Amino acid sequence: MPDLLLELFSEEIPARMQAKAADDLRRLVTEKLVAEGLVYEGAKAFATPRRLALTVHGIPARQPDLKTERRGPKVGAPDAAVQGFLKATGLKSLDEAKIQRDPKGDFYIGLIEKPGRDAIDVLAEILPVIIRTFPWPKSMRWGARSAKPGALSWVRPLHAITATFGLETEEPDVVKFSVDGIEAGQTTYGHRFLAPSAISVRRFEDYEAKLLDAKVVLDPDRRKDAILTDAKQLAFAQGFELVEDPNLLDEVSGLVEWPVVLMGSFEQEFLKTPDEVIRATIRNNQKCFVVRDPKTGRLTNKFVLTANIEATDGGKVIVSGNERVIRARLSDAKFFYETDLKTKLEDRLPKFEQIVFHEKLGTQAARIGRIVALAAQIANLVEPQLQVGQKSYGGSAAKYVNDVEQAAKLAKADLLTEVVGEFPEVQGLMGKYYALEQGEDASVAAACEEHYKPQGPADRVPTNPVSVAVALADKIDTLVGFWAIDEKPTGSKDPYALRRAALGVIRLILENNLRIEMVALFDHHSQTVDKTFKQLAHASGQKQGGDYFVAVGYAGFEWNNRRVRKNSVDLLAFFADRLKVQLREQGARHDLVDAVFALGGQDDLLMIVRRVDALGKFLESDDGKNLLAGTKRASNILAIEEKKDKRSFDGAPDAALYSLGEEKALAKAIDEVKAEAGAAVAKEDFAAAMSAMAKLRPPVDAFFDKVRVNDDDAKVRENRLKLLNEIRSATRAVADFSKIQD
């Protein structure tokens, strides 16, 4: 079957847009083909700085003929309806229609035959539409035609369109169409400088090979492999190793069509600047890779650049030009760093009084104050659990709390430094360097860097006790604050990254095995946030002579214990949803999280996870599966009878009404299991609690086999329903089994 080759040749396409543009081109063309009945065998798209290309192979040469039936009016319908039916179906008269019998009467049926068209004609129709409506994030118009209505809008000026279609064994045809005066043909162009002449192409294999001869590597993955391999070899040849950077590699491969890797250098004196600043400077300004000395682990004064040309001088001028720019940029970075060192982090803090964190949550200074208070509270809570006096920290409990408060106070200070202003991606990291330079404890410095972590599922979780406390405080203050002002995430929007913050809290707690009562912590910190509101209200009243709460949208808000608790419970439910996501990624079942949270009062995330883990293992056993089935059966019967009687069957059953041995055995087992499971849960031995629950399985099975719940005697029936309720009550010692999916 024939293949399609399509190339859109233009001026340089921004590297960040290329991968998505190639995918969009493949998707749009193939979806249209399928919609037209042209089911293809395979498709692949490519992008270079100057072209988007697509090959689709195995396209049928012609659309299939379509035959459809159209139902018309009833026999004997008015002439106007009949004429409309004939016109719509293309029939000359009703003699060409069939009559179909129906319970509602006899109806005319018209058979519409639509012959398929040649695939090349379909392509000539759909490709111009796709090109004109291509979804570039940004586009432009150019030249004299740009002033005309309906002028083509493209990411950069479009110069040529290649479109061929045909069998591999035959000379392909050109798909004839034009877009804004650009006629589709079979001519493309090679490398802008190394082989700029026109190239005539036929099909994809021919196209790719001729481009390679013309110094254009079409496949982005092939360009990336070439850059990475050559860069590693250059570094290795001098006894160094390349600092790999996948994101930079993606970008650089989108800047060149014929990658040529070269190495440059800079002065040793710049290595006094932190490695991360050097790397950010070279990466951001010149899109170059840095090189590391494997003996020291530090950067060396080398960098690797990727040119788009084979220079006659071996690249000396290109390297020299990059060295000149990098030298100037590193000089600026060195100046910023040395200037920052002249001002202590504490001395920067007053500036935060003039920086608003959020109009409803006050200044950055107010936020830092809240974080300091919350971090100290968390430190006191987790200090015994983290064993800060042991090897993991090496200091006393009192020193731990002091270090936590100091770290919380300084953690945001580097946001006001020159280096972070120039390179925001090194925030936190520079705080660590500046803290060490001014003589802060190593744990305090580490917390300045690590308090932002973890920022994603692949990010490292801090384990340093000071970092843990400050990181928790930073994230919990954000969550409690935005919950207080009702700025919660919606289904599609999370502008303050609150989901990420909650997942960060969960990972910090679970991976450090921390026991924290979340609702109590939320409640306490909400009172601190409330003080910020009162301060804002007071300040606003002085300046505006009005009620701050009304001025910024707080009309009707009641800042009292009831509202605080409601927000805390709502925030805990948000954590439950995030915990489900976290556990689901680890292979656990989200319904088990629901079953544990449904018990109420469950806000110790570590214990919830341990309980979920024990419950999951129990339900994998035969005892667990059968007990779940029995419990659900009891719950279903109770639900039906409670709805029918419009009452619940709470309260202890009357032992005097037991007439069957199975009733007595079940009642005895429930009493024993309640005591044993309750004691195990109190000791937080959830595995033992599950083992105790397993003892219910035989008497529950026997009860349902031998006992008729809806006895004719109303008192016996009620007593047996109460016994079923006892089963439900007993299992709630570990989880709400009704929330567990079969």
Question: If 0-12 CB within 10 Å is exposed, 13-18 middle and 19+ buried, where does residue 138 land?
Answer: exposed
Q: Residue 393: what pLDDT?
A: 65
When the pLDDT of each residue in the chain is averaged and rounded to a whole number, the result is 90
Average of per-residue pLDDT across 504-515: 93
Q: Residue 530: what pLDDT?
A: 82
Of 125, 127, 204, the residue nearest 168 (C-alpha): 204
Quickly list H helices, 42-167: 79-89, 119-132
State yes or no: pLDDT of 80 exceeds 70.
Answer: yes
Reported confidence tier of residue 549, pLDDT bands at 50, 70, 90: very low
Q: What are the pLDDT digits (tens) for 461-474?
A: 999 999 999 999 99
Which of 50-54, 88-92, 521-525 comes out lowest in average pLDDT? 88-92
State yes or no: pLDDT of 113 exceeds 90.
Answer: no
Q: Give the N- to C-terminal CA distance of the chain in Å, as an integer.
A: 50
State yes or no: pLDDT of 544 exceeds 80.
Answer: no
User: Residue 436 is which amino acid?
Assistant: L
State yes or no: pLDDT of 390 exceeds 60.
Answer: no
Q: Which of 71-75, 81-85, 276-280, 653-657 has the highest mean pLDDT?
A: 276-280
Q: Residue 542: what pLDDT?
A: 46
More confident residue, 481 or 633: 481
Of 635, 630, 599, the residue nearest 721 (C-alpha): 635
Q: Residue 697: what pLDDT?
A: 87
Q: Residue 546: what pLDDT?
A: 38
Q: Residue 732: what pLDDT?
A: 83
Q: Residue 110: what pLDDT?
A: 83
State yes or no: pLDDT of 90 exceeds 50.
Answer: yes
Answer for the pair 231, 289: CB distance below 8 angstroms, yes or no: yes
Q: Residue 553: what pLDDT?
A: 43
Q: Residue 422: what pLDDT?
A: 94
Other beta carbons less than 10 A from residue 317's beta carbon: 11
Answer for the pair 707, 662: CB distance below 8 angstroms, yes or no: yes
Reported confidence tier of residue 550, pLDDT bands at 50, 70, 90: very low
State yes or no: pLDDT of 438 exceeds 80.
Answer: yes
Average of per-residue pLDDT across 476-490: 93
Which of 131-145, 433-447, 560-574 comes out lowest in average pLDDT? 560-574
Token duo for residue 362: 């006050």
Distances (CA, A) of 4 to 33, 54, 120, 279, 658: 11, 8, 9, 44, 81
Determine what percent of the chain is predicted with pLDDT higher than 70: 95
Task: Compute the distance between CA of residue 139 and CA of residue 702 in angstroms, rounded to an integer.
Answer: 74
State yes or no: pLDDT of 319 exceeds 70.
Answer: yes
Average of per-residue pLDDT across 486-505: 92
Average of per-residue pLDDT across 640-656: 88
Q: Which residues contact 474 (CB under 8 A, 6 or more apart)?
A: 371, 408, 411, 451, 452
Q: Residue 625: what pLDDT?
A: 86
Distance of CA 431 to the CA centre of its chain: 28
Average of per-residue pLDDT across 577-596: 84
Task: Compute the distance between CA of residue 117 and CA of residue 63 in angstroms, rounded to an integer.
Answer: 5
Q: What are the pLDDT digits (tens) for 199-237?
A: 999 999 999 999 999 999 999 999 999 999 999 999 999
Which of 153-162, 477-486, 504-513, 648-657 comes out lowest in average pLDDT? 648-657
Which of 61-65, 87-91, 314-318, 392-396 comes out lowest in average pLDDT? 392-396
Predicted TM-score (pTM) of this structure = 0.80
Task: Compute the distance between CA of residue 180 and CA of residue 520 in angstroms, rounded to an integer.
Answer: 66
State yes or no: pLDDT of 502 exceeds 60.
Answer: yes
What are residue 179's DSSP bridge partners? Answer: 182
More confident residue, 168 or 251: 251
Q: Residue 1: what pLDDT?
A: 84
Q: Residue 327: what pLDDT?
A: 97
Task: Compute the distance between CA of residue 99 and CA of residue 119 in angstroms, rounded to an integer.
Answer: 35
More confident residue, 737 or 363: 363
Reported confidence tier of residue 558, pLDDT bands at 50, 70, 90: very low
Q: Residue 585: what pLDDT?
A: 81
State yes or no: pLDDT of 567 exceeds 90.
Answer: no
Q: Residue 562: what pLDDT?
A: 65
Determine what percent of the chain is predicted with pLDDT higher than 90: 60
Reported confidence tier of residue 556, pLDDT bands at 50, 70, 90: very low
SS (H, E, C) 614-631: HHHHHHHCHHHHHHHHHH
Q: Which residues contact 606 (CB under 8 A, 6 or more apart)?
A: 509, 510, 513, 514, 515, 516
Reported confidence tier of residue 552, pLDDT bands at 50, 70, 90: very low
Answer for the pair 417, 437: CB distance below 8 angstroms, yes or no: no
Task: Compute the distance between CA of residue 544 and CA of residue 546 in angstroms, rounded to an integer.
Answer: 5
Distances (CA, A) of 477 to 46, 480, 484: 46, 5, 10
Task: Compute the distance between CA of residue 208 and CA of residue 214 in angstroms, rounded to an integer.
Answer: 10
What region does 41 belong to: left with phi over 0, alpha with psi -120 to 50, or beta? alpha
Average of per-residue pLDDT across 104-133: 90
Q: Which contacts qualify for 207-215: CB closer than 8 Å, 24 or more apart?
A: 207/5, 207/7, 207/53, 207/162, 214/189, 214/190, 215/190, 215/191, 215/257, 215/258, 215/310
Which of 279-283, 287-291, 595-599 comes out lowest in average pLDDT? 595-599
Answer for the pair 448, 435: CB distance below 8 angstroms, yes or no: yes
Q: Residue 548: what pLDDT?
A: 39
Which of 394-398, 497-501, 671-675, 705-709 comes out lowest in average pLDDT? 394-398
Which of 339-353, 446-460, 723-737 comes out lowest in average pLDDT? 723-737
Reported confidence tier of residue 371, pLDDT bands at 50, 70, 90: very high
Of 378, 455, 367, 377, the residue nearest 411 (C-alpha): 367
Q: What are the pLDDT digits (tens) for 135-154?
A: 999 999 998 888 888 899 99
Task: Compute the distance between CA of residue 424 and CA of residue 734 in angstroms, rounded to an integer.
Answer: 47
Q: Residue 737: what pLDDT?
A: 85
